[in-house]
Structure 1
Amino acid sequence: MRFDVKNAIQSGKTVLGIELGSTRIKAVLLGEDNAPIASGSHDWENSYVNNIWTYSLEDIWKGIQDSYRKMAQEVKQQFGVTIQTVGAIGFSAMMHGYMTFDKDGELLVPFRTWRNNITEQSSKILTELFNFHIPQRWSIAHLYQAILNQEKHISDISFQTTLAGYIHWKLTGEKVLGVGEASGVFPIDLNTKNFNQTMINQFNEIIAPHNLSWKLEDILPKVLVAGENAGVLTEEGAKLLDVSGDLQAGIPLCPPEGDAGTGMVATNSVAKRTGNVSAGTSVFAMVVLEKELSKAYSEIDLVTTPTGNLVAMAHSNNCSSDLNAWVKLFDEFSKVMGMDVDVNKLYGTLFNLALQGDPDCGGLLAYGYLSGEHITHFEEGRPLFVRSSESNFNLANFMRVHLYTALGALKIGMDILLKQEAVELDVILGHGGLFKTKGVGQNIMAAALNVPVSVMETAGEGGAWGIALLASYMKNKSNNETLEEYLSHNVFSERAGTTVSPVSKDVEGFERFMKRYTNGLEIERAAVLNLK
């Protein structure tokens, strides 16, 4: 039974979540049952300016305002009311990157997004200094690289934050970050749920020769955990968000989070021994750990949940792009033969056929490396398909090998966690394009990871829903109710999903494929060197 939606809107019992992804900004308004009432989205793209991937401040605010306006317009059309207040608001955005401001609040250099791989020198130095893997996209790597490059602006830095933190600051005046987002800025101390003070001291020591006017703790935001109040919407913030002027000030905001954290919330995978995997153009898995890893791994990033629990992340640059290219080729073939086949039916038919293939793909081998792959140490990639004269070459095995290889690099990262570190997982929650054909992506993923894989009907709701749920948790939680309890009792208890358990012959087949995959990396390396 749905609640009285119109009354909930008028009385401010709704919550609003807005997430800025790399290609889309989305606003979602939730009712009292935490289900979406209305949404609005705005498409945008990054720009490559002076060798930097960036978004302008103008585009940021234009996109936020447009997505909010479209959401409010949908509310007006469906329910005949104008939004004047909501119960709580949350903002999230793509993690990492570099935004620095002077004492007057002016942006010092254009926003450098996570996509910029320009910090290799600082990444290596900081990883060695902290004995903790610092990826190139992390905010601290960007800051230290700017210092190493002796960029003019570094002496004027008064505040450093992320995209989500910047938006939150402008709307509330509060310089804060949720702990999950903060964990992609600088390493977190799991005991204090704050930036690691020992590492801050180490950083201050290595920058001391540069004689800067600030220390790292002076310019970083305050760290908050899920459920804490992160300020209220100011008069200026209300006008900035809703240009029509209808929205009132005083609405509480939850801590701003990153897209990794909101993905965990949206898939109900914030509890220990759970994880989620997002599989589309790229693929990444996030596993909530019970204890710290024994050492630092270049293949594994360590971040946290929005409540500050440790999360291991394995990220592969390449997943479904080459697979999609082959399906497109079959689509082209069908048209040449005079057959007009619906593309969704084509995907469904070919994907389901893959389940009929041999468990080890009949000896076939493929690499879907359209770009480089850091897990296997490739700066460039070449998509390849290879077979021997003894291979069982048929369409089922051809499709199966391209599904397997889409997860090949990810499996290397996950094997570090599941085999070397003996991390135990009860379930992985799957979302993304690879799971659209019912059952297929789940079966392949279960074979790859040897873990049950669940896909929920709400998996497509996305990060805007996830940050709205964090706003809802802040507003509606009962005393001492954890985020895990709130999500299980109030959000996911009646939401349907399907779970697929690993099949032993498929698990064994994937392991045989991975031996071939690992041994064949020399072929991929030769292709990179010789096929220009």
Structure 2
Amino acid sequence: MKDIKEMILAGKTAIGIELGSTRIKAVLIGEDNSPIASGSFGWENQYKDNFWTYSLEDVWKGLQESYRALAAEVKSKYDVSLQTVGSIGFSAMMHGYMAFDKEGELLVPFRTWRNTTTGEAAAELTELFRYNIPQRWSISHLRQAILGKEAHVKNIDFFTTLAGYVHWMLTGERVLGVGDASGMFPIDIDTADYNERMVGQFDKLVAGENYPWKLREILPKVLCAGESAGVLTEEGAKLLDPTGGLKAGIPLCPPEGDAGTGMAATNSVAVRTGNVSAGTSIFAMIVLEKELSKVYPEIDLVTTPDGSLVGMVHCNNCTSDLNAWVNIFKEFMETIGLTVNMGKLYDDLYFKALEGDADCGGLVSYCYFSGEPVTGFDEGRPLFAREMNCNFNLANFMRSHLYSSLAALKIGLDILFKEEKVQADEIFGHGGLFKTKGVGQGFLAAAMDTPVSVMETAGEGGAWGIALLASFMQNKAKDETLSEYLNEKVFAGNKGTKMEPDVKDVAGFDAFISRYKAGFPMERAAVESMK
């Protein structure tokens, strides 16, 4: 304890703060890169004026509260008033659209990754660039705003992601980590910068609009992991810690997206490694050995935090519907007078799913709270259905919802593994779906027909991942790569718990997917009839 106190006082620590879909989390790590304190704040998106959004007020309330909780834990555990650290990093949900004018005012409410309103723009840009441009990418949002003749576009001075915005407010620097930047606009792997050919194509496409800006002028500067991204200003320190305890001048690493921090948190930045992050949304990242043979609308090409090419399958929906059903069981228990322990309830229901039939016994569900581009849905409606002669019991009910949370991801990954013959030596799972040991992990192994490992530290998530990137910037040796740093100074001796795919479950998941695809007309009918 004394050593940790001295380490904190000496500033030999790093803070990582990530703004996730349902929680903002702050983590303080020590010299050995292990977490020593944390704080968090729960929040939810709102659906306003046909867009999923978060208010700027909630952004700063959440950041301040998560930092306050972290500092309070440091004071309680180590009797230290936190005043400085060695480095800080911020990360957040990737993609989306935050556009600002010359005065720094937000021109339209933050449009998050969850929106599926940019289909026309995404299709047009994909054809123009000959490169898959997903609906949630920032450039799709910008182009759709142009197509929609939105008045604010002419006033744009800067547009960025949520992580880029927070970093800008705290440092004054308009920069972005290459991983997060690759969800704004395509990256040239050779230069670790925006693709110059495509930048020119976009400027030419919108030339007739006579805007006072060129694309590069309003995009953030791209930085790779390990590069300096500015320091905490006096104003920034007070914005993060209104009590005035936190000192200015602390170095910040490049802000990153949650995909990049997930790769760091699971040691999945080297070629032929991969990870799956499963929470409100779910995405898989496989670090590729080479470019894909053609453009697939289901596969994004993004980068690791140090600029390597990654094949990404991103699905908008994962655990929201699953959580809603667990809350129904909670309400039932409370109704009959039982005390509910939510951790035990989740564990019991998840373990019950292991007793179900491998193919869910004729049950199927769609966890589509929002649209799901991987399966071709611009809107979604949560839906549960079953065959007349199904084996309808609790085990199959829970199993069908767990399978559903992975189903769209499996459809996308089948393209990488089966059509493109991509090889992955290791896949790591992290996020809420894997908290109950052996359940989500085993079902993911079946869905991918690939071994899946989960580390003890996986629960720390992206906040720990961005803290590691902050530590790497501050503590790396000369010419040391991010992969070397993670292997030797973070994960040495920690390979996690591996689960091999069960042959029966692999076949069962394939059968479920056949039923799932056949039921798409039901889901479309639900969308149309419940507008």
Compute the TM-score of the two structures, normalised by the length of structure 1. Answer: 0.91
Equivalent residue number for residue 39 of structure 1: 38
* Aligned CA distance change for structure 1 residues 486 and 212 (closer, same or farther; 3 Å): same
Local SS of the residue matching 2:206: helix
Matched ranges for 1:200-279 at <5 A: 200-279=199-278
Q: CA deviation at 1:393?
A: 5.0
Contact 2:362 / 2:386 at 8 angstroms: preserved in 1? no
Contact 1:95 / 1:114 at 8 angstroms: preserved in 2? yes
Aligned residue identity for 1:415: D
Contact 2:22 / 2:280 at 8 angstroms: preserved in 1? no
* Aligned CA distance change for structure 1 residues 354 and 296 (closer, same or farther; 3 Å): same
Equivalent residue number for residue 162 of structure 2: 163
Tell me the alpha carbon deviations over residues 79-113 of structure 1, each in whole angstroms, 9 at most, x when there is no partner: 22223321111111222222233334343333333
Tell me the alpha carbon deviations over residues 181-217 of structure 1, each in whole angstroms, 9 at most, x when there is no partner: 1011111011111000000000010111111222111
Local SS of the residue matching 1:470: helix
Aligned residue identity for 2:37: A
Equivalent residue number for residue 439 of structure 1: 438
* Aligned CA distance change for structure 1 residues 61 and 365 (closer, same or farther; 3 Å): closer
Between the aligned residues of both structures, percent identity stands at 66
Indicate the larger mover: 419-428 or 331-340.
Answer: 331-340
* Aligned CA distance change for structure 1 residues 68 and 509 (closer, same or farther; 3 Å): closer
Q: CA deviation at 1:309?
A: 1.4
Equivalent residue number for residue 191 of structure 2: 192
Equivalent residue number for residue 381 of structure 2: 381
Aligned residue identity for 1:385: A
Q: CA deviation at 1:336?
A: 7.4
Are residue 176 (structure 1) and residue 181 (structure 2) matched? Answer: no
Equivalent residue number for residue 23 of structure 1: 22
Tell me the alpha carbon deviations over residues 466-501 of structure 1, each in whole angstroms, 9 at most, x when there is no partner: 111100011111122211121122112244631101
Q: CA deviation at 1:329?
A: 5.4
Indicate the larger mover: 258-267 or 516-525.
Answer: 516-525
Local SS of the residue matching 1:4: helix
* Aligned CA distance change for structure 1 residues 505 and 185 (closer, same or farther; 3 Å): same
* Aligned CA distance change for structure 1 residues 504 and 56 (closer, same or farther; 3 Å): closer
What is the alpha-carbon distance in structure 1 between the residues aligned to residue 523 and residue 28 of structure 2? 47
Are residue 152 (structure 1) and residue 151 (structure 2) matched? Answer: yes
Q: CA deviation at 1:9?
A: 1.3
Local SS of the residue matching 1:253: coil
* Aligned CA distance change for structure 1 residues 357 and 72 (closer, same or farther; 3 Å): closer
Contact 1:307 / 1:483 at 8 angstroms: preserved in 2? yes
What is the alpha-carbon distance in structure 1 between the residues aligned to residue 521 and residue 207 of structure 2? 44
What is the alpha-carbon distance in structure 1 between the residues aligned to residue 49 and residue 393 of structure 2? 48
What is the alpha-carbon distance in structure 2 between the residues aligned to residue 206 and residue 88 of structure 1? 41
What is the alpha-carbon distance in structure 2 between the residues aligned to residue 354 and residue 41 of structure 1? 30
Q: CA deviation at 1:259?
A: 1.4
Aligned residue identity for 1:500: M
Tell me the alpha carbon deviations over residues 435-459 of structure 1, each in whole angstroms, 9 at most, x when there is no partner: 2222122221111101101111111
Compute the TM-score of the two structures, normalised by the length of structure 2. Answer: 0.91
Aligned residue identity for 1:423: V
Aligned residue identity for 2:468: L
Equivalent residue number for residue 418 of structure 1: 417
Equivalent residue number for residue 426 of structure 2: 427
Q: CA deviation at 1:388?
A: 4.6
Q: CA deviation at 1:161?
A: 1.9
Equivalent residue number for residue 400 of structure 1: 399
Contact 1:370 / 1:383 at 8 angstroms: preserved in 2? no
* Aligned CA distance change for structure 1 residues 352 and 138 (closer, same or farther; 3 Å): same
Aligned residue identity for 1:381: R
Matched ranges for 1:323-402 at <5 A: 323-327=322-326, 344-378=343-377, 379-389=379-389, 391-392=390-391, 395-402=394-401
* Aligned CA distance change for structure 1 residues 71 and 295 (closer, same or farther; 3 Å): same
Contact 1:3 / 1:31 at 8 angstroms: preserved in 2? no
Equivalent residue number for residue 97 of structure 1: 96
Are residue 143 (structure 1) and residue 142 (structure 2) matched? Answer: yes
What is the alpha-carbon distance in structure 1 between the residues aligned to residue 530 and residue 168 of structure 2? 48
Contact 1:429 / 1:454 at 8 angstroms: preserved in 2? yes
Where structure 1 has 5 or more consecutive residues not aligned to the other structure, the ranges are: none
Tell me the alpha carbon deviations over residues 500-532 of structure 1, each in whole angstroms, 9 at most, x when there is no partner: 011223222322332233233334445555677
Are residue 295 (structure 1) and residue 294 (structure 2) matched? Answer: yes
Equivalent residue number for residue 283 of structure 1: 282
Tell me the alpha carbon deviations over residues 103-132 of structure 1, each in whole angstroms, 9 at most, x when there is no partner: 343433333333333323222221211122
* Aligned CA distance change for structure 1 residues 136 and 370 (closer, same or farther; 3 Å): closer
What is the alpha-carbon distance in structure 2 between the residues aligned to residue 331 and residue 396 of structure 1? 17
Equivalent residue number for residue 452 of structure 2: 453
Aligned residue identity for 2:106: L
Indicate the larger mover: 441-450 or 395-404.
Answer: 395-404
Indicate the larger mover: 289-298 or 243-252.
Answer: 243-252
Point out the structure with max Rg over C-alpha: 1
* Aligned CA distance change for structure 1 residues 103 and 368 (closer, same or farther; 3 Å): closer
What is the alpha-carbon distance in structure 2 between the residues aligned to residue 241 and residue 252 of structure 1? 14
Local SS of the residue matching 1:66: helix
Contact 2:225 / 2:305 at 8 angstroms: preserved in 1? yes
What is the alpha-carbon distance in structure 2 between the residues aligned to residue 413 and residue 178 of structure 1? 26
* Aligned CA distance change for structure 1 residues 135 and 3 (closer, same or farther; 3 Å): farther
* Aligned CA distance change for structure 1 residues 27 and 514 (closer, same or farther; 3 Å): closer
Local SS of the residue matching 1:100: strand
Equivalent residue number for residue 115 of structure 2: 116
* Aligned CA distance change for structure 1 residues 78 and 396 (closer, same or farther; 3 Å): closer
Q: CA deviation at 1:247?
A: 2.8
Q: CA deviation at 1:42?
A: 2.8
What is the alpha-carbon distance in structure 2 between the residues aligned to residue 435 and residue 82 of structure 1? 34
* Aligned CA distance change for structure 1 residues 13 and 416 (closer, same or farther; 3 Å): same
What is the alpha-carbon distance in structure 2 between the residues aligned to residue 451 and residue 50 of structure 1? 42
Contact 1:131 / 1:296 at 8 angstroms: preserved in 2? yes
Equivalent residue number for residue 489 of structure 1: 488
* Aligned CA distance change for structure 1 residues 344 and 250 (closer, same or farther; 3 Å): closer
Local SS of the residue matching 1:475: helix
Contact 2:114 / 2:370 at 8 angstroms: preserved in 1? no
Tell me the alpha carbon deviations over residues 216-235 of structure 1, each in whole angstroms, 9 at most, x when there is no partner: 11221111100111122233
